[in-house]
Copies of this chain bind each other. A is one copy, B any other.
Amino acid sequence: MLAAIVMGMVLSADAQTVNDEPLNDAWAPSEWGPDDKVGAANRTTPALVLKAVGLVKQGKVATLGKVYAQDAPAFGSRGWRLTIPGLPTGGPFGDQKLVYNDDYVATDIGQIGTQFDGPGHIGVLTSKGSFFYNGRYLEDPDVGAYGLGPLGVEHVAQKGFVCRGVLLDAVALRGGVLPVPKENNRDDPGIITDDDIKQMVKRQRIDSIGEGDCVFLHTGHGDIWHPKDWDEFDAVEKAKRAAEFHAGEPGFGISACEYLASRKVILTGADNWGGEAVGPGFGGETAQPFECHIKLQTKRGIWLIENLDLSQLVADEAYEFLFVWAPLKIKGATGSPGNPIAMY
């Protein structure tokens, strides 16, 4: 595999060594059995659904997706391209003189813009192969170049997410947009710790985070991507912003992720590209970049949705809401684009 220089640090690809923690620490089978393909989404119950529905009091609706377009910054070499074949694509037909348009897109569909990380996205190279959620391996005979088989997102997409949504407003907590972390410790203002979460819950006067919740973090970092004046930037300015956006990010530290896992949440989300703190050469409170991804997704089946637009919720101080969304049922995919709905 290619060594990649991303996020301002060298992530050196080293195929010679492995990480056998998933095997030694018995990450598989999951608590939902060896056949499970859904993870923490299993925690949703009719009772929890009804409780979350009870949060809708004003009848307000917010859509949380960002706009998909060619000039949206995309991680690494990912891209988005849309064309309209024909304009119109077909017609005029019949006496009505009907004309119609289609749209043709080529993109890393599940891993660009607002995106959901499903069971097949993040794994760990072990001595037995590339380990993914619930002990499935990329080397398994039912996983291949045209789809991930049992690791495909269509399984959790069949279930969907209906939950109590909790917005954690770290910008309000810190008194401003969070910076990219500079130092790898609990005092860095770009890293949200377990204590920070508890403090935000208290400040925002909401019930504790609990089983079946979906938890979303507002860092302000996401506004580097498409601020209001985005369309006025030229290609060079957009390239600069894209580089800045992906050079690191504030977010959850590992203590926060472990806390959320202990509370049995089913989904985390954020207004930036990875949700967890990433600084120059490290992840939050640890030397390991993306350890939250591994410890929540690969180990526990707690999925993630990135690059959300939380601005309406922040403006309305809608800290608790009914969250309703399902990934697309894309056969064998690692993730899904999305435009989730919050109701409150």
Contact = CB atoms under 8 A, between A and B. Distances in A.
Interface of A: 1-4, 11-15, 17-19, 44-50, 53, 56, 58-61, 63, 65-70, 76-79, 81-111, 114, 120-126, 130, 138-139, 141-149, 154, 157-160, 162, 234-236, 238-240, 242-243, 287-291, 293-294, 322, 324-335, 337-341, 343
The 7 A-B residue pairs with the shortest CB-CB distance, nearest first, are: A86-B145, A46-B59, A2-B144, A106-B106, A83-B85, A49-B59, A19-B97
Nearest to A234: B243
Given A61-B162, A98-B123, A145 B87 contact: yes
Most chain B beta-carbon neighbours within 10 Å: one of A44, A56, A146, A288: A146
Contact of A130 (B49, B85, B88, B103): B88
Most chain B beta-carbon neighbours within 10 Å: one of A48, A79, A81, A124: A81
Given A53-B53, A103-B110, 13 more contacts: A1-B139, A1-B145, A44-B61, A53-B322, A81-B81, A83-B85, A88-B138, A88-B145, A96-B288, A101-B120, A103-B330, A103-B333, A235-B242
Contacts of A123: 88, 98-101
Nearest to A290: B98
A294 B98 contact: yes
A61 B266 CA distance: 16
A11 to B, nearest CB: 4
30 contacts: A1-B86, A11-B91, A11-B93, A14-B97, A15-B141, A18-B92, A46-B58, A49-B56, A53-B59, A53-B322, A61-B160, A67-B330, A68-B331, A69-B331, A82-B146, A84-B86, A84-B332, A86-B86, A92-B125, A94-B290, A97-B124, A98-B123, A99-B122, A102-B108, A103-B109, A104-B104, A104-B109, A324-B343, A326-B340, A328-B339
Given A92-B14, A236-B243, A243-B236, A101 B148 contact: yes
A12 B234 CA distance: 18
A47 B59 contact: yes
Contacts of A82: 109, 146-147, 330-333
Nearest to A289: B94
A234 B6 CA distance: 12
Given A1-B88, A235-B242, A333-B82, A98 B293 contact: yes
Contacts of A14: 92, 97
Nearest to A291: B96
A124 B102 contact: no
A96 B294 contact: yes
Contacts of A158: 63
A244 B102 CA distance: 22
A19 B96 contact: yes
Contacts of A104: 81, 83, 85, 104, 106-109
Contacts of A87: 85-87, 138, 143-145
A329 B65 contact: yes
B84 A99 contact: no
Contacts of A124: 92, 96-99
B145 A68 contact: no
Nearest to A332: B82
B160 A339 contact: yes
